Amino acid sequence: EILKEAAAFYKVARNLPKTGDTKKGMIRYQPVLDIIDKVTHPLKESEVINVVNGAQEAISKIYHGREVLSLTTKFLWLKVRHPILIYDSLTKYALKAETGNYEDFCIRWKKEYESNLEGIERACKKLYKMSAYTINPIIATEDYI
């Protein structure tokens, strides 16, 4: 059920036809959950590329060769968080990364992150000022943030 909600939230549900699961008598996204459950936590940074590519290939095979790199990284991130980098088309475009190449995407993302680290750190230090614009400012106090 949680994976179903995540697929809707990330707008990736359309990528996985039901012929890969419910039309075979399985719970929706059960094959994806089975694949992601095999990934151990914590995940070493040196393993990320192989783990993501392996999971993506396995999911794609079950769901008739669909392109599922973005979906795979989003679901893996929900389980492991760091060091997974979420692959999406807007970020891929901004980085000028090769389509479907997670390793190239990660290399370019890390390079951009490093070259912008000072600005990122400055922006993060100012995040507490955003508490006035949050949904619930009673909870999101400066101390909490």
pLDDT given for residue 5 in this prediction:
83
Contact in structure between 43 and 64 (CB atoms under 8 Å): no
Instruction: Say whether pLDDT at 12 is over 90.
Output: no
Euclidean distance between CA atoms 7 and 55, whole angstroms: 16
pTM above 0.85, yes or no: no
CA atoms within 13 A on the CB side of 17: 11
The predicted structure's pLDDT at residue 34: 94
